[in-house]
A and B are shown apart, each in its own frame.
Chain A
Amino acid sequence: MTVAILNVSWQTLADALALGGVYALMAVGIGLVFGVLRLVNFAYGQLIMAGAYALAFASQWGWPGWAGILLCFAVVLALSVAMDRLVFRPLRTQSPAVMLVATFAVAFLLQSIALLAFGPLGKIASSLAPLNRPWTISGVDIRKIAIVAIVVAAACLLLLQLLLTRTAVGLQMRAAAMDFGTARLLGVRANRVIGGAVLVSGVLAAVVAVMLTVQNPLVTPDFALRDTIVVLAGVVLGGLNRPVPATLGGFAIGFASGILGGALPTNQSQYLPTFLFAAVILVLLVRPNGLFTRGGGAVERV
């Protein structure tokens, strides 16, 4: 059965929505840290990779699914905090270019460590595999993970919105993203706000690691690398320095690649990134400030 207008199957539509949701979480994770540090964390994908390896090892050890998820969260959060303390904090006063190059270095370092320690062939994370089986909803088969990903992404974004708008630290994060110097003059503690953003961003990375590992149980050192590049394009597409536009940009590029991936014949799926990035370039030519920002915002060049 297909959705007549789009000529795509329900499964493709659900997958596209799910991928959009997962990419939206990655986008907001990257956008939050950019907001307070003016730092594009290229190593975000490696946080997700580390979480995926945690899940793979947990299933190799025969741990139940929930224990694997707990281990994934612990590993990703510890690595996020370590990254902030060891790399971002000492470099905080340096130029954005220095920080960006430093995150490249961290990304390749982590990837190389994974390659040396776990080998190039990858490990299988099987303990959450049942989520890949379909649910039958009024005669239509949809994989459970697609539904779970959509629901989890929506719930995370809602919680994040509440955090940013209803709590003191959330308000301080938003203010710091707009004008950090003035926020500090008002008594907003830089370490608290940056630590909070890094932590929330880490939680989102862990959630994404679980979702992506279910969909793609083969965990290799370059796990989530391609997704990160696509999401970075999406974040730039939406507008980097505000959470909502960044989220919408991530969702849009995830949804588009889900639909395109379903529409392209299997033997041409390697051209998917080509179409995607061509679309990004086209959009940025027309709207250099991002698709979802109001006019007048300054372009942040990195």
Chain B
Amino acid sequence: MTTLAVESLEVRHGAVRAVRGLSLEVRPGEIVGLIGPNGAGKSSTLHAIMGAAPVAGGEVRLGGASLVGRRSEDVARSGIALVPEGRRIFGELTVEENLRLGLAARRRGGDAAAAVERAYELFPVIRDFRRRPAGALSGGQQQQLAIARALVAEPDVLLLDEPSLGLAPRIVDVVFDALAAIRERGLGVLLVEQRAQRTVALADRSHVLANGELRLTLGPEDAGDTERLVAAYMA
């Protein structure tokens, strides 16, 4: 397992500086939260790591090797998996086919069937529906499928873009419990979320982003400190 390091990252969309000098690290076996208001630059950070948004400055390294300027598919194949915003499930393909697509990014030969099996263990509900079109699943089931699809590649680092968006509270619990289990497996997790309080409680560190800049870093002990959270958002 290797560490993902973002150093002084700059992302520009035209004249807009979406991310300004952001530095963070995701080590194996830890969850790092990235929270902040809409337009703070959270998704831009993930897209820049994945090579899907142009990096205007700074560095992104995985285990020392730079990822800047590499194509999305090559970043994915180097050991970083993204669970994209809105899940981006292939609705016309079956659940199983969606999972098989995730295998495209596997690096080592290894046992692909075992990786699929481990994903099913984490989310038993998608095993029951594996021959159905993925579009027929509920939003919560699709989110679980999206995470499972990222995991079958056996990445070192998992990036998630607002996985709880639009989910019922009970399903949010399932997703957050799964993230804790994924951390237990030794993966590094970078979690972009709107649910600030739950993220702070779960993550080993949570960075508050506003206007593309890192404003504040919180630990799990700050989860009860609503005032501090609100102040960070307003700053």
A interface residues, Cβ below 8 angstroms from B: 168, 171-172, 174-175, 178-179, 181-190
Give the contact stretch, choosing among B12-20, B33-41, B87-95, B163-171. Answer: B87-95
Most buried by B among A179, A183, A184, A187: A187
Q: Are A187 and B105 in contact (CB under 8 A)?
A: yes
Q: Report yes or no: B100 in contact with A186, Cβ–Cβ below 8 A.
A: no
Tell me the bound Cα distance from A179 to B149 in angstroms: 15
Q: Is B76 an interface residue (CB 8 A)?
A: yes
Q: Does B184 contact A (CB under 8 A)?
A: no
- B82 pairs with A175, CB closer than 8 A: no
Shortest CB-to-CB span from B153 to chain A, Å, is 6
| Contact for B149 among A168, A178, A186, A189, CB less than 8 A | A186
Residue contacts A-B, CB under 8 angstroms, 18 given: A168-B103, A171-B101, A172-B101, A174-B93, A175-B93, A175-B101, A178-B93, A181-B72, A183-B104, A184-B72, A184-B73, A184-B76, A185-B84, A186-B101, A187-B73, A187-B104, A187-B105, A188-B73
A184-B71, A187-B105, A190-B71 known; 14 new pairs, CB 8 Å cut-off, are A168-B104, A175-B90, A178-B90, A178-B92, A182-B84, A185-B52, A185-B73, A185-B84, A186-B76, A186-B101, A186-B104, A188-B101, A189-B104, A190-B73
Chain B proximity of A144: nearest CB distance (Å): 40
Which residue of the partner chain, among B76, B100, B106, contacts A185 with CB atoms under 8 Å? B76
With both chains docked as a complex, state the minimum distance between the C-beta of A213 and any C-beta of chain B, in angstroms: 37
Main secondary structure of the interface of A (DSSP, over half): helix
CA of A168 to CA of B90 in the docked complex: distance in angstroms?
15
B146: min CB distance to chain A, Å = 10
Q: How far is the CB of B2 from chain A (nearest CB, A)?
A: 17
| Chain B residue nearest to A294 in the complex (CB) | B92
Name the interface size band of chain B: 20 to 34
Question: In this assembly, does B102 line the interface, its C-beta being within 8 Å of a C-beta of chain A?
Answer: yes
On chain A, the residues within 8 Å of B90 by CB distance are 175, 178-179, 182
Contacts of B101 in A (CB 8 A): 171-172, 175, 183, 186, 188
Residue numbers in A under 8 Å from B73 (CB-CB): 184-185, 187-190
Contacts of A185 in B (CB 8 A): 50, 52, 72-73, 76, 82, 84, 88
A-side contacts of B72, CB under 8 Å: 181, 184-185
